[in-house]
Amino acid sequence: MAFDLPTIWAVLICVALTAYVVLDGFDLGIGVLFWFGKDRKERDTMMNTVAPVWDGNETWLILGGGGLFAAFPLAYSVLLTAFYAPLIAMLLALVLRGVAFEFRFRTERWKPYWSAAFFGGSTVAAFCQGVMVGAFVQGVEVQDGVYAGGWFDWLTPFTLVTGLALVAGYALLGAGWLVIKTSGDIHARMAKLRIPLGIAAIVLLGGVSLGTLYQDADIAARWFGGGFYILLWAIPALTGLAAIGWLATAWRGMEVTPFLCSLVMFALAMAGLAASLYPNLIPPDISYREAANADGSLAFMLVGALVLLPVILGYTAYAYWIFRGKVDPEHGYH
Amino acid sequence: MDLDPIALARIQFAFTVSFHIIFPAFTIGLASYLAVLEGLWLATRRQVFLTLYKFWLPVFAVAFAMGVVSGLVMSYQFGTNWGPFAEMTAPVLGPLLAYEVLTAFFLEAGFLGVMLFGMGRVGEKLHFTATALVAIGTLISAFWILSANSWMQTPAAFHIDADGRFAPDSWIGVIFNPSFPYRFAHMTMAAYLATAFLVGAAGAWRLLKDKTSAPGKVMFAMAALMAMTAAPLQLVIGDLHGLNTQEHQPAKLAAMEGHFETREGAPFYVVGWPDQEAGEMQAAIAIPKLGSLILHHSLNAEVTGLDSIAQEDWPNVPFVFWSFRVMVGLGMLMILYGLCALVLGLRKKLFEARWLQGWAVAMAPSGLIAILAGWFVTEAGRQPYVVYGLMRTDEAASPIGAPGVAGSLLAFVVVYLTVFVAGAFYMIRLAVRDPEGVTGKRELKKGPIRSAGVEPGPAQKGGEQGGAG
């Protein structure tokens, strides 16, 4: 397991995707929960909790796409073609929910429609992302470096469950975020709602994890093969601890800790996924090394990434810091 | 009818990228304009600059959101529909796009929130810094994406590696490929000009409603200044860009000029119908020898025509020829507008000529249309290649059947048209408000959390009536 350029980039892409899932996760989750906003004012408040940061959150998805193209072009080309329908649906859903951030505040007559676009777009985007995760784990058929499967290979009971799991998971993150950023009625409602959401997310996540074992004999063999891989059991063990921590702190009505616990659960789920599939980037059998870009190109990008990623994390954290605290429904951010 | 999946994929890419480019072009110009306005406000403390900053900020927010979401689509579309292209060019183009995300997109997104919602939460200087960083971010983004596009037009500093991919020899050579400096200058200037004509139209609209409007005068005068200076400068840059195209992409240039035959003392075709099949220009109005003069700065120089190139390697000549004429025609109109404004300005009558204001309103979309026409010229003119001279477009497409691409294309058209109509409507409604009317109490009650209150309800209607009159 040499630590070469493709390996470093595989780790970086995983980090970018994890950053995307936890950051855009809660703001897509707010869209999923838009249905539970009681009136316009409440929905305005919900949206305002992420208005200054949603764009930055979504940039991680652009990095995911651009980074996959730049680092693993074969995977970019094969996977995106394989997931054509859910991917296009996700992009269009993100278009609708993204413009809704601005359009909702620019009209009165059409406001309900843009609220619906925000709810529908966020939910469809989350569901499609989940479906694609499932389809990815399932594996895709490749011949001569080109996708050779059918149009609906991505559509199976397993991928529908992963889709639902991600919707529930994002809604949990969204509820956790709203508990932190709001007060009053909406705060109380979200604090209550997060408990069933969290239980649903944990059950679905557990189901998906078990399902993953049955997708491929190699995956099951890795987890139950003993030896060195016994160490991998730290991942589900920690996930279990995070889940217990989440339940205990959410039950007691705490604000920040349960949200952090749910973020940790997500990050660990990503780690579990990576551990199951390693070293394949196009499951079931094309490794990230085979899919990697030329070394010279990877090296050129790495210089920039190592310098710029800390800077990006720095000013992103600063932007969150500027807009810290609860959103006042009467006075917005002022 | 048998649908060709590659043709559909091309239509889808052309449609989505054309939709997209409008918004970055506008936000490149508007971000710089906002930075100038805020800088002027801090330097002079004249209220009108702050008024205008607050007036344009929500327009910027709408345009930026539309640019972001349509740009996200672009970053995935190489993979969904152009897989072989992505694999072949990834060693060269991948890092350029990755650097665009790392140096530009995060910067813009990170400080956009501060710019839109941070007034009153951070200090004035810090807020100005955020605006300036967003503006710089838009330019850095243009730098990388135009470098990547230029490399596809004029590939340089590469070899074909063992896997059959284009592999870079020198990053400087790749980034600063032969057409890049011209394209970057031409596009940046185009974005500024397009924005100037939109701002000028908003100023003219205000002046037509109220002759004494101070913000109206400032917008109108600033835009006129841009038309006087940037429009003629753009002609010079465009000419240099054309000469560069002549050197590196002769087929494109011949199509732009409608020159089918190689000859000395070639004419300039003002209009005409290039007959692609027959390989000749029909129904032309031509000015003798002007073609040679423009392209070689000499009356009798030999001009290379399409007859020197195999017909299967020609682009769609009428499309390129006419797109070029639309772009140049609009550019000439802009220069003429600038001249009229200059003459009136020298006579101290800039704000009195109602006809100029009417003309300015009519010119509102001129810059954006010229940008689209210009991109049609350069992209259609590169055909039948996706990487000029090296990779043909029909070798670059992913194996997705016609029904799949037709379905996605239809979905894009429906969603994009909905979003475009709504977005354009909201932006126009914002741009025709009275800037002074909206920076008072009413404006403070609008928008997300851009300023004090968050009750967009009744104030919205008030603003609408006040604006549209």
| CB within 8 Å of B304: residues ≥ 6 apart | B246, B250, B254, B259, B262
Q: Are B46 and B40 in contact (CB under 8 A)?
A: yes
Cross-chain CB nearest to A84 (options B69, B400, B452): B400
Closest chain B CA to residue A74: B87
The Cα–Cα gap between B334 and A313 comes to 44
pLDDT at B180: 96
**CA pair distance B45, B252, nearest whole angstrom:** 50
Contact B284, B260 (CB under 8 A): no
Q: Are B261 and B284 in contact (CB under 8 A)?
A: no
For residue range B301-310, list pLDDT tens digits in order.
899 999 999 9
Considering only the beta carbons, identify the residue of B398, B455, B456 that sits closest to A81. B398
Residues from chain A that touch B461, judged by Cβ atoms under 8 A, are 108
Residue of A nearest to B79 (CA): A77
Q: What is the pLDDT of residue B79?
A: 87
Residue A323 included in any domain? no
B336/A contact by beta carbon, under 8 A:
no
The SS3 assignment for B434 reads coil
Neighbours of B432 (CB within 10 A): 18
Task: State pLDDT tens for residues B184-241.
Answer: 999 999 999 999 999 999 999 999 999 999 999 999 999 999 999 999 999 999 999 9
- B272 CB neighbour count, 10 Å cutoff: 19
What 3-state DSSP class applies to B430? helix
Please tell me whether residue B159 adopts helix, strand or coil conformation.
strand
Average pLDDT over residues B459-469: 34
- Are B448 and A51 a contacting pair at CB < 8 A? yes
Judge whether B404 is closer than 8 Å to chain A, CB to CB.
yes
Is residue A310 reached through a cis peptide bond, with omega within 30 degrees of 0 on the bond before it?
no
Residue A330 lies in a domain: no
- Given a contact cutoff of 8 angstroms between Cβ atoms, the answer to whether B40 and B49 are in contact is yes
Place of tokens 């089918």: B260
Mean pLDDT computed over B410-417: 94
Q: What is the pLDDT of residues A169-219, one digit of tens each?
A: 999 999 999 999 999 899 999 999 999 999 999 999 999 988 888 888 888
According to DSSP, the residues that pair with B271 across neighbouring strands are B285
Region of residue B272 (left: phi > 0; alpha: psi -120 to 50; beta: else): left
Please say whether the beta carbons of A29 and A170 come within 8 A.
Answer: yes
| Integer CA distances (angstroms), B402 to B8, B83, B111, B135, B328, in order | 7, 16, 42, 41, 36
What six digits make up the tokens of A19?
């950053």
Average pLDDT, chain B: 90
> Which residues in A lie closer than 8 A to residue B65 (C-beta atoms)?
55, 98-99, 101-102
Question: d(Cα A264, Cα A172) in Å, to the nearest integer?
Answer: 13
User: DSSP character for B383?
Assistant: T
Contact B90 A76 (CB under 8 A): yes
Residue A98 in domain: yes
SS3 category, B264: strand
Task: Report the C-alpha gap between B32 and B50 in whole angstroms.
Answer: 15
Write the pLDDT tens digit of every residue in A219-237. Answer: 888 888 777 778 888 898 9
The closest CB to that of B101, out of A63, A88, A330, belongs to A63
Residues within 8 A of A (CB atoms), B 101-130 only: 101-103, 105-114, 116-118, 120-122
Give the number of other Cβ atoms within 10 Å of residue B468's Cβ: 10
- The residues, any chain, with a CB within 8 Å of residue A221's CB and separated by 6 or more, are none
B460 pLDDT exceeds 70? no
Question: What mean pLDDT do residues B350-375 have?
Answer: 95
Instruction: Note whether A312 contacts B106, CB cutoff 8 Å.
Output: yes
Q: Which domain holds residue A169?
A: 5-309
Q: Taking 90 as the threshold, does the pLDDT of residue B399 lie above it?
A: no
Q: What is the pLDDT of residues B258-288, one digit of tens each?
A: 999 998 989 999 999 999 988 888 888 989 8
**Residue B445's pLDDT band (cuts 50, 70, 90):** very low
Q: Taking each helix axis from N to C terminus, what angle separates B354-362 and B180-209, rounded to the nearest 10 degrees? A: 130
* Distant-in-sequence contacts of B441-447, Cβ < 8 A, 24+ apart: B442/B466, B443/B54, B446/A105, B446/B58, B447/A105, B447/B58
CB atoms within 10 A of CB B44: 10
pLDDT exceeds 70 at position A333: no
Cβ-defined contact of A84 to B92 (cutoff 8 Å) = no
Choose, out of B80, B433, B455, the residue to mutate when testing the contact with A (most A CBs < 10 Å).
B80
Total count of domains within chain A = 1
Q: Which residue in A5, A91, A311 has the most chain B C-beta atoms within 10 A of its own C-beta, making it the best mutation to test that interface?
A: A91
**Distance from C-alpha of B176 to C-alpha of B156, rounded to nearest angstrom:** 9
| Exposed e or buried b per residue across B180-190, where buried means at least 16 C-beta atoms within 10 angstroms of its C-beta | bbbbbbbbbbb
Helices (H), A139-214: 157-181, 184-213
Residue A140 lies in a domain: yes
By CA distance, what is B89's nearest residue in A? A73
Distance CA B178, CA B245 (A): 9
Q: Which residues contact B89 (CB under 8 A, 6 or more apart)?
A: B152, B165, B166, B387, B391
For B:192-251, CB contacts with A below 8 A are none
Chain B from 422 to 461: CB within 8 A of any A CB: 422-423, 426, 429-430, 446-449, 451-457, 460-461
Whether A243 is in a domain gets the answer: yes
Residues of chain B numbered 34-73 and touching chain A (CB < 8 Å): 58, 61-62, 64-66, 68-73
Among chain B residues, the shortest Cα distance to A319 is held by: B110
A14's torsion region: left (phi>0), alpha (psi -120 to 50) or beta?
alpha
Report, as an integer, the average pLDDT of A119-126.
Answer: 96
- Closest CB to A76: pick one of B65, B86, B453: B86
In the DSSP assignment, the letter for residue A3 is -
* Local structure of B167: helix, strand or coil: strand
Determine if the peptide bond prior to B384 is cis (ω within 30°). yes
Q: Give A213: exposed, middle or buried? Use CB within 10 Å, 0-12, 13-18, 19+.
A: middle
Flag if A297 and B430 touch (Cβ within 8 Å).
Answer: no
Is residue A153 situated within a structural domain? yes
Distances in whole angstroms, Cα of residue B203 to Cα of each of A19, A25, A109, B213, B398: 43, 42, 28, 9, 47
**A-chain residues near B87 (CB < 8 A):** 73-74, 77, 145
pLDDT at A167: 95
Amino acid at A264: V
Test B109 with A56 for CB contact under 8 angstroms. Answer: yes
Q: Which of residues 2-31 of B touch A (CB under 8 A)?
A: none
- Sorting pLDDT into bands at 50, 70 and 90, what band is B459? very low
Domain membership of residue A229 (yes or no) is yes
Backbone angles phi and psi of B267, in degrees to 5: -80, 170
Are B109 and A56 contacting, i.e. CB atoms less than 8 angstroms apart? yes
- Chain A partners within 8 Å of B72 (Cβ): 58, 61-62, 65, 91, 94-95, 98
- pLDDT tier for residue A149 given thresholds of 50, 70 and 90: confident
| Chain A residues with CB-CB distance to B101 below 8 A | 59, 62-63, 66-67
Assign residue A281 the CATH number of its domain: 1.20.1630.10
Instruction: Specify the pLDDT at position A219.
Output: 85
Would you state the pLDDT for residue A32? Answer: 95
Task: Say what the pTM is.
Answer: 0.91
Return d(Cα A3, Cα A332) in angstroms, integer: 48
* Within-domain flag for A46: yes
Mean pLDDT of A239-268: 92
> Closest to A108 (Cβ–Cβ): which among B62, B84, B461?
B461
Binary contact (A81, B400; C-beta < 8 A) = yes
Predicted confidence at residue B453, as pLDDT, reads 37
For A150-162, the pLDDT digits (tens) are: 889 999 999 999 9
Q: Give me the total of CB pairs closer than 8 Å, taking one residue from chain A and one from chain B.
A: 269
Split at pLDDT 50, 70, 90, the class of B385 is very high
Question: Taking CB atoms and an 8 Å cutoff, what residues of chain A touch B79?
Answer: 65, 68-69, 76-77, 79-81
Pick from A141, A290, A330, A334 the residue to mutate for testing the B interface (most B CBs within 10 Å): A334
Q: CB–CB of B324/B272 below 8 Å?
A: no
Q: How far apart are CA A79 and CA A280, in angstroms?
A: 12
A29-48 residue pLDDT tens? 999 999 888 888 889 999 99
